[in-house]
Chains A and B, each alone.
Chain A
Amino acid sequence: MLNWGNFSSQLFNGLVSGALLALISAGLTIIYGTLGVLNLAHGALFMLGGYAGFVAYQSTGSFVVAVVVGAVFVGLVGVILERVLIRFFYERPEEDQILVTFGLGIVLVEVVRAVFGSLTQNVPAPAWAAGVTSLGFMIYPTYRLLVFGIVAVALAALYLLLYRTRLGMVVRAGIEDPTMVDALGINIQRTFMIVFGIGAMAAGFAGIVNAPIISITPNVGDDILIECFVVVVIGGVGSFAGAIVGGVVAGEILSLTSMFNPSYSAVMLFAVMALVLVARPQGLFGTR
């Protein structure tokens, strides 16, 4: 017999964790959609955001500062990486792009390990968001509600950026036909740099926002990256809407499966991904 109270709380929980996943995946999918680069360093950027925020928190004691620093720092790192390394790979085969970002991810993780050690670091939730909130049908950590709100806002901001600004239009055109955009005299190089920076910033932002929930270690991004892949495959590569829907779906799968058999929740996620691959290989919203 299904415990409805539990079911509804798991449903809600899946939504919240899915939203976070959606944000991280949105960054990944924007980068892929625009630049055609699958950024395997995305998990490491997520981790880097957590550490940058941690350092900021240690020196200022302010959570808000930590979040801003975390996001901006990783955004800058993204821009630098794009300028210094990634842009030389646009002309190279896809596999080379995957490999270089993979190597980059490892280097970033190991550098952080060399500097901070392997111990977990603690970033507490801000005092004004600690504790629990009663939602009627369940009690839920206030901070997670806050995260949900923040993520929703961030996703909305990204959406506005993509669909309501000139930059966004260029980005979307660049997704369709970068050569044409370049031929039109638009500085596609600068656009790529900005897009990579934004994608990275999304990951870094997610990293510091998530830090009070999950302790940060150098390897915290590894599992997140793999979950992002599943999200992107389910939702469709290059699709912003796909990242959101895919993220929520993934979050729900993990939550709801745990009601019945927690040890299967990860397997279930991959099984659904395999199913999507069989039935609709381009993903729910994908066009390629």
Chain B
Amino acid sequence: MAFQRKILALVLAGGVAAGSLAASAATAAEDTPQPPKLKWSFSGPFGKYDQGQLQRGFKVYREVCQVCHGLTLLAFRNLAEPGGPGFTPAQAAAIAAEYQVKGEPDDQGEVKDRPGRLADRFPPPFPNEQAARARYNAVPPDMSVIAKARGYERGFPWWLLDMVTQYQEHGVDYIVALLTGYEDKAPAGVNVPTGTFYNKYFPGHTLAMPPPLSDKRVDYTDGSPTTVDQYAKDVSAFLAWAAEPHLEARKRIGFQVIIFLIVFAGLVYFAKKKVWREVELHPEKLTPRPPTEYPRS
């Protein structure tokens, strides 16, 4: 026993040493700070999207982002579906009609634009990557799943804790940090090539997107503060919904399923105990036979 404990202690000590050695290697390699962990209405087992926030975020997307960034995996009808921003079908249809989408070829074979309908998806802001590069010198990514396509490393033991606390909002926390992380003056010694901008949280620190948000840029009709911070949070929440429109159903059904499984497991546990009590009470009643080869009949 004592010998085992000594081995275990040695191994643990070695593990800690290895971990700290490795950690020093890690911190040297990446100096991008971790985005601050924010509170979201949709985090945790009972999280729900805040419809007002989603609508404000959609407004920010339309007035600031959509010139460059597509949302092509979303359809206009999604705006009216449960678990989302909560527009009525009529409102969603009106929003759709504000967009021009490519129609079917007419009798001369020409493809003309027509107003969008509920079934249509958001049209892309540029026809292909080459057109984007020609216009912006970079390809602005589509925003449909960007909240799930971004994240950051949480070291040990934080990621273990995250499994229990259900922290899944790495992407949105990063996006808020990015949008609010621009700095006018880069730190001394950092080279910012022309056409790029310095950002504290972007890996590599220089990106082609100019700071998109500024105070009072977008009007809010519900009295929410018109600050960069608020815009960043609202548009990120909207992007979280865009990436995971079924989040509310998922968490609701998850709660029901897990409760069911726990109750079911409890019942089976007691049934198991009852069944096995037979073995202890009446060992002579078992149907055992000495193990033999597979019976060939």
Q: Do A and B come from one complex?
A: no
